[in-house]
A and B are shown apart, each in its own frame.
Chain A
Amino acid sequence: MYAQAFFVAVFGLAAIGFGVVVFRTSSMVRSALALLFSQTAVGCMFLAMQTEFLGVLQIMMMATEMSIMAIFMVMFMMDPGGMGGMDMTHQKRFSIGAGVVAAGVAIVVAFWADWGPVTAEAPDAAMQTRALGIELLGRSMLIFETAGVTILTAMIAATAVAIPVQTTANSADKEDTE
């Protein structure tokens, strides 16, 4: 139990540390990769909490997702390398206040609430994967299918939004790129 608490705490601290780095550094690639490692640490927390499938899935998904975020940072920021030391923040005091209040309330609730009896033994990892699969294709099938359709919709919507509007002015460019 103490070993588990130790590992959860270590990975939790790593997640928080990298999470802080995300908004402390002015290099955008560092910022995106710090977020990546923060999410990886969250995945490791799942592993430490014996939720193997979700942990591995989190670690796998976030690597790609945050790398893509990194390239968008480089594309859309004025100073992606952070060499100029630009200030990219606004309403700082309000934000810090909001963040501290949000975290504080959640922590107080975590300590205050009566969580009732806590289960010591987690199900076996192989059993978990199996039971999750049965849940996915059984009772929660509709939710799972909805999630899939949502992703499809998002893909179509994102592509539709991102495709440049075809005008006579830029249709000549398109001929070149094809």
Chain B
Amino acid sequence: MTLVLIVALVTGAILFGIGVYGALSQTNLVMIMMGVELILAGALVNLVAFWRFLHPESYSGQMFVLVVMTVMAVEMAVGFGVAIARFRAKGSVEMEEAGDLKG
């Protein structure tokens, strides 16, 4: 059964890697959020795999998955709120043009 665990963990790791690439390389706020979503998806795969194969008796593992899903939703809501405010003020959500946020 370790085989399935390893397969799931490798998938999670690769999704995480793609997400890191996306979050770092994209210039648009919405695309960066997509990278973050992929990172969290990788984390979700690992959490479910750990729950299923290592500790199926403890439901805190599933609880953690629910919390991560909440985090994904919250990230989207606040991110889009910020994006709307930024777009309204400056007319773009490009990161290259957001140097003025440095203060």
Contacts and interface: CB of A to CB of B under 8 A. Distances in A.
A–B interface present (Cβ within 8 A): yes
A72 to B, nearest CB: 5
A110 B13 contact: yes
Q: In terms of DSSP, what is the predominant structure of the interface of chain B?
A: helix
A160 B93 CA distance: 18
Given A91-B24, A118-B54, A151 B3 contact: no
B33 A23 contact: no
B1 interface: yes
B24 to A, nearest CB: 4
B20 to A, nearest CB: 5
A87 to B, nearest CB: 9
Interface string A60-77: 010001101100110111
Contacts of B73: 61, 65, 151, 154
A161 B85 CA distance: 6
Interface string B9-49: 11111111111111011111111011101100100110011
A129 B35 CA distance: 30
Interface in A24-59: 28, 31-32, 35, 38-39, 42, 45-46, 49-51, 53-54, 57-58
B56 A119 contact: yes
A144 B66 CA distance: 9
A118 B2 contact: yes
Given A39-B41, A50-B52, A72 B20 contact: no
A102 B37 contact: no
Interface residues of A, number: 89
A53 B20 CA distance: 28
Nearest to A161: B81
Contacts of A65: 72-73, 76
Given A16-B11, A158-B80, A161-B85, A42 B41 contact: yes
Contacts of B16: 102-103, 106
A151 B74 contact: yes
Given A16-B14, A88-B26, A154-B77, A57 B21 contact: no
Interface of A: 1-2, 4-5, 8-9, 12-13, 15-16, 19-20, 22-23, 28, 31-32, 35, 38-39, 42, 45-46, 49-51, 53-54, 57-58, 61, 65-66, 68-69, 72-73, 75-78, 88-92, 94-96, 98-100, 102-104, 106-107, 110-111, 115-116, 118-123, 128, 131-132, 134-136, 139-140, 143-144, 147, 150-151, 154-155, 157-162, 164
